[in-house]
């Protein structure tokens, strides 16, 4: 099986060749835990879960390591903690915010049918690795200390006469353009406008750790160095795939590459850089001010997680996605159909017609079209393919029962009415039998008569 992936750095689809087929390694930037995750945050989680499942299918479950971090030190977390728990010492309030939000994130993404990554490192547990990277960068002349900050110098990186990558290569920006575009009110401790923070002093009451480079004041890491440190600790200096949303290419991923390559004197940090496209809602950019900001948690109150998952995968991961109610309704109907057909079938081998498009840079829309093609002719391949993609986690009865719950229909009442109708039909009282059918229809219940008796389902 040949897997081809689009690499943001080389701007082309390339055959995926792992550094070690017995230990395929992928890092994806995870959430900053300060608030409910929104549906845009769900996109990389679902997309890279599909890639994780596909890699496990190709290389074996024991041979793929997926690391997705949790950022638990950040200004947004501090602000939220001070707002939500004003009576508590800040550090305690921060712990409450990160624990609650982390739990909520797991509940959300579990419901979306995503496997847990192999490792979920927390930034606050990797401060030692961050300090070490920073020390190496200073020793190599790529970073400097100024007013208790440590700053990385992209200009020093690009001036180095070595096999290091150029700063700006991933996002295709030249340093000159960045200098020209930099704001004028640059922090006074920066030598150049493009320098970015590796370490900064903590304000009183904020989380703080002993600083690197002999800085006396305690401090805390910048965001970018967190991912370099966690990727290094769990995947090594050089690994296979680094993923995240397209909005992370610059500056976050550009800075990760700079830090890791300069600290370890490497030409590359990851061999393939993958980025999912933007998500908008009903053709508009999602934002708190437009009032169309939807959390995963809110959507899960109305829809099973697998409906959200399917709805996400109907669009290719690199294309922008328009999240609409109409599309959600269609996704729900499709899943109803698949559950009815395949949930209780013995799952066979995933169909080649489904795997092939996935091998071509995760072409999930084509894979879904192939699933539709299987529905009439190979139910066991349909069941196996759906499971590979993270669907059919419930039985057909559980799925139907959940729909009934969501619709407020009382299954016992429906069964009672159907029994009454059957009795009316057997005594040839068709007026009464029709009246009950209409009553059920008004409740949103569709019935179907066959030789075996009467079955029913919720008509969405």
Q: How far is the CB of 29 from Zn ion (least distance, A)?
A: 3
Nearest CB to Zn ion, comparing residues 145 and 229: 229
Token couple for 248: 């992370």
To Zn ion, the closest distance from the beta carbon of 171 in angstroms equals: 14
4: its two tokens? 């081809």
Nearer to Zn ion, 18 or 243 (CB): 243
Question: What letters, b where the CB count within 10 A reaches 16 and e where it falls short, cover 249-270?
Answer: bebbbbbbbbbbbbbbeeebbb
Q: Could you list the residues that contact Zn ion (CB under 5 A)?
A: 29, 227
Round to whole Å and give the CA distance between 385 and 387: 5
β-bridge pairing 219-221 and 196-201: antiparallel
Question: Measured from the CB atom, is 58 or 70 closer to Zn ion?
Answer: 70
* Distant-in-sequence, close-in-space partners of 422: CB < 8 Å, separation ≥ 6: 453, 454
Q: Minimum CB separation from Zn ion for residue 439, in Å?
A: 56
Within 13 Å and on the Cβ side, how many CA atoms surround 99? 6
Rounded to 5 degrees, what are φ and ψ at 143? -140, 160
Judged by beta carbon, residue 77 or residue 227, the one nearer Zn ion is 227
Question: In the complex with Zn ion, which residue's Cβ is closer, 230 or 368?
Answer: 230
Please report how close the Cβ of residue 123 comes to Zn ion at its closest, in angstroms. Answer: 10
CA–CA distance, 136 with 145 (Å, rounded to integer):
13
Angle, CA 232 vertex, CA 132 and CA 35 arms, to 5°: 95
Give the contacts of 178 (CB within 8 A, at least 6 positions apart): 154, 168, 193, 194
**Distance of closest approach, residue 252 Cβ to Zn ion, in angstroms:** 6
Closest distance of CB 227 from Zn ion, Å: 3
Q: Which is nearer to Zn ion, 226 or 400 (CB)?
A: 226
CA contacts within 13 A on the Cβ side of 8: 25
| CA terminus-to-terminus distance, the chain | 40
Q: Which is nearer to Zn ion, 137 or 230 (CB)?
A: 230
- Closest CB to Zn ion among 170 and 343? 170
Taking the complex as a whole, the smallest distance from the CB of residue 30 to Zn ion amounts, in Å, to: 8
User: Shortest gap between Cβ of 234 and Zn ion (angstroms)?
Assistant: 13
HSE-CB of 269 using CA atoms within 13 angstroms: 30
**Residue 247, Cβ neighbours under 10 Å: how many?**
12
Nearer to Zn ion, 76 or 402 (CB): 76
Residues in the chain: 460
Which string of b and e fits 203-218 if b means at least 16 CB within 10 Å? eeebbbbebbbebeee
- Of 332, 316, 304, which Cα lies nearest the Cα of 324? 332
Query: Hey, is 255 helix, strand or coil?
Result: helix
From the centroid of its chain, how far is CA 138? 34
CB of 241 to Zn ion, least distance (A): 13
The nearer residue to Zn ion, 28 or 54, going by C-beta atoms, is 28
Least separation in angstroms between CB 27 and Zn ion: 8
Compare residues 102 and 373 and give the one whose CB is closer to Zn ion.
102
The whole-angstrom separation of Cα 376 and Cα 373 is 7
CB 169 within 8 A of CB 178: no
Nearest approach, Cβ of residue 226 and Zn ion (Å): 7
In terms of C-beta density within 10 A (0-12 exposed, 13-18 middle, 19 or more buried), how is residue 52 classed? buried
């Amino acid at each position: 099986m040949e897997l081809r992936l689009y690499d943001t750095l080389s701007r082309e689809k390339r055959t995926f060749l792992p550094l070690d087929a017995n230990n395929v390694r992928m890092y994806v930037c995870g959430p900053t835990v300060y608030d409910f995750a929104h549906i845009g945050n769900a996109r990389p989680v679902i997309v890279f879960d599909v890639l994780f499942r596909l890699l496990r299918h190709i290389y074996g479950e024991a041979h793929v390591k997926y690391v997705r971090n949790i950022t638990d030190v950040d200004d947004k977390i501090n602000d939220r903690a001070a707002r939500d728990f004003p009576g508590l010492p800040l550090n305690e309030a921060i712990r409450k915010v990160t624990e609650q939000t982390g739990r909520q994130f797991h509940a959300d993404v579990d419901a979306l049918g995503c496997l847990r990554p192999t490792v979920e490192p927390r930034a606050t547990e990797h401060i030692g690795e961050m300090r070490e990277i920073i020390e190496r960068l200073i020793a190599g002349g790529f970073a400097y200390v100024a007013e208790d900050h440590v700053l990385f110098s992209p200009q020093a990186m690009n001036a180095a006469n070595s096999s290091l990558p150029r700063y700006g290569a991933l996002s295709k920006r030249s340093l000159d353009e960045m200098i020209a575009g930099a704001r004028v009110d640059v922090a006074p401790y920066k030598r150049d406008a493009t320098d970015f923070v590796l370490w900064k002093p903590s304000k009183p009451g904020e989380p703080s750790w002993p600083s690197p480079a002999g800085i006396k004041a305690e401090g805390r890491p910048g965001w970018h160095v967190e991912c370099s440190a966690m990727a290094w600790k769990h995947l090594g200096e050089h690994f296979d795939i680094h993923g995240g949303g397209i909005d992370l290419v610059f500056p976050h991923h550009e800075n990760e590459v700079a830090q890791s390559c300069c600290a370890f004197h490497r030409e590359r940090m990851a061999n393939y850089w993958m980025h999912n496209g933007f998500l908008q809602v009903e053709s508009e950019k999602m934002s708190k001010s437009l009032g169309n900001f939807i959390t995963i948690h809110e959507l899960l109150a109305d829809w099973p997680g697998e409906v959200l998952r399917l709805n996400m995968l109907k669009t290719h991961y690199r294309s922008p996605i328009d999240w609409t109610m109409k599309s959600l309704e269609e996704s729900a109907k499709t899943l109803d159909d698949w559950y009815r057909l395949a949930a209780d079938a013995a799952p066979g081998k995933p169909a080649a017609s489904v795997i092939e498009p996935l091998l071509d840079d995760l072409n999930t829309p084509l894979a879904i079209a192939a699933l539709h093609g299987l529905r009439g002719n190979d139910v066991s391949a349909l069941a196996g393919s759906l499971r590979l993609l993270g669907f059919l986690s419930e039985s057909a009865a559980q799925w139907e029962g959940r729909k009934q719950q969501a619709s407020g229909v009382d299954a016992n009442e429906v069964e009672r009415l159907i029994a009454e109708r059957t009795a009316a039909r057997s005594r040839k009282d068709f007026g009464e039998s029709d009246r009950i059918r209409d009553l059920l229809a008004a409740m949103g219940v569709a019935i179907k008569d066959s030789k075996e008796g009467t079955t029913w389902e919720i008509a969405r």
